[in-house]
Structure 1
Amino acid sequence: MKKVILCSLIMLALISMKATAQTGDQATKPVKIGDEWQMPKDVLLRAKNFSESLQKSLGLDDAVTKKVFNAYLGNTKPVDEIRMGQGSESEKKAALVANQAEFDQTLKSILSPGGFAQYIKSKKTGSHWHKNRLMT
C-alpha cells in the first residue's frame, strides 16, 4: 500500500513539473491555430511597457501614448510570423530589419519630429525600450 501511494506521489510530481515546463515555454512563443496566431499573454504587457517608457522619456501625452501602444500591439503579429515562419535565419533577420523600418515609419507618423529624432538617437545608443522592442 505504501509503495502505491509513494509511486502515485512521484507520478503526480513528475506530471506537474512537465505541465509547468510546457506552460513557461508556451508563454514565449506564439501558437498558430488555423490562419490565426494566438499571442502570448505578455504581449499586452510589453506594449504597455514600451509605450509608457516612450511616454516618460519623450514626454508624450495620453493620446499619443495610446497610438504608440496600438502601433506596437499591431506589429507583434508580423514579427511573430517572421520569427516562427519558414526560411533561414538570415532571411528572418532581413525580414525583421525591414519590419523594424516599417515600424519606425509608423512611429514617425505618430511622434513629433523632435520626439522621433530622440527615439532614433536612443535606438543607436541602445536604450532599454529599444532592446525590449527587438524582443517582440
Structure 2
Amino acid sequence: MFTKLAYTGLLCSLLSLPLLAQQAPMSTVPHQQGTKQGQKMADPTIRAQRMADRLTKELGLDQATSQKVYTAALARAQKIDNIQASPDDNRTKAKALKANADDFKAQLKSMLTPDQFTKFESMRGRMRGGRGGMGRPDSDTDQP
C-alpha cells in the first residue's frame, strides 16, 4: 500500500516538472519612454507625440509651433532608433546620440521664443535632477 502511494507521488512529481519550467507570457502593454535595458521603447510617432503634447502644455505653444515641434521630435526619435539598432560600439552610439540631441536642441531654439526655450531648459534640468542626482551634468558647463 505504501509503495503504491509512493510511486503515485513520484509519478505526479515527475509529470508536474515541465509545468514548472514554463515561462510567464510577456506583457502586451506598450513600454514607457524611460525604459530599462532590454525593453523596447514605444514607437517613434508615439514618443514624438508625447513630447509635442508635453511641450505644448508646459510652454503654451500654438498649433503651428506644436506641429513643428512634433516634426522635429519625430525625426529625433527615428534617428535614436536607428542609432540604437546600429552595430556600432557604445561609445560611437553615445557620440551619435549626443549629436542628435544637440541638433534637436538647436532646432527647438529656432522654433521657440527665448522665454519658452529658457523654460524648456529648466524642464530638462528638472528631469535630470529627478533621478536622484544620477543625471549627467549638462555638457554646456565646463567643470574641472
- TM-score normalised by structure 1 residue count: 0.62
Provide the alpha-carbon RMSD of the alignment. 3.2
| Count of residues in Structure 1 that have an aligned counterpart in Structure 2 | 104
Structure 2 distance, partners of 1:101, 1:116, is 14
Residues 44-66 of structure 1 deviation map (CA, whole Å, 9 limit, x = unaligned): 22211111110111011111111
Q: Which residue of 1 is the match for residue 126 of structure 2? A: 125
Q: Which structure carries more strand by proportion?
A: 1
Letter in 1 for 2:86: G
Distance 1:43 1:81, change over 3 A: closer
Q: What are the equivalent positions in structure 2 for 1:21-32 lying under 5 Å apart?
A: 28=40
Aligned to 2:134: none
Q: One-letter code of the match for 1:106? A: Q
Gaps of 5+ in 2: 1-21, 32-38, 129-144
2-structure distance, mates of 1:66, 1:116: 16
Letter in 2 for 1:64: T
* Cα distance in structure 1, aligned partners of 2:78 and 2:49: 16
1:54 corresponds in structure 2 to: 55
Q: Secondary structure at the match of 1:126?
A: helix
Task: Report Cα offsets for 1:17-45 as digits up to 9, x if no partner.
Answer: 5xx679x79x926xxxxxxxxxx6x3222
Task: State the partner residue of 2:111.
Answer: 110
C-alpha change, 1:21 and 1:52, in structure 2 (3 Å) is: closer
The CA distance in 2 between the partners of 1:44 and 1:88, in whole Å, is 26
Tell me, yes or no, if the aligned pair for 2:76 and 2:101 is still in contact at 8 Å: no
Q: What is the identity percentage for the equivalent residue pairs of Structure 1 and Structure 2?
A: 29
Give CA-to-partner distance per residue, 1:94-123, whole Å, 9 cap, x none. Answer: 211111000100111111111111111211
The CA distance in 1 between the partners of 2:95 and 2:102, in whole Å, is 11
Structure 2 distance, partners of 1:21, 1:66, is 32
Q: Secondary structure at the match of 2:121?
A: helix
Give the structure 2 partner of residue 133 of structure 1.
none
Which structure is richer in relative contact order (CA contacts within 8 A, separation 6 or more)?
A: 1
Paired with 2:123 and 2:55, the residues of 1 have a C-alpha distance of 10
The structure whose Rg is larger is 2
Is the helix fraction higher in 1 or 2? 1
- Taking the TM superposition and a 5 Å limit, the aligned residue runs for 1:44-83 are 44-83=45-84
* 1:28 counterpart SS class: coil
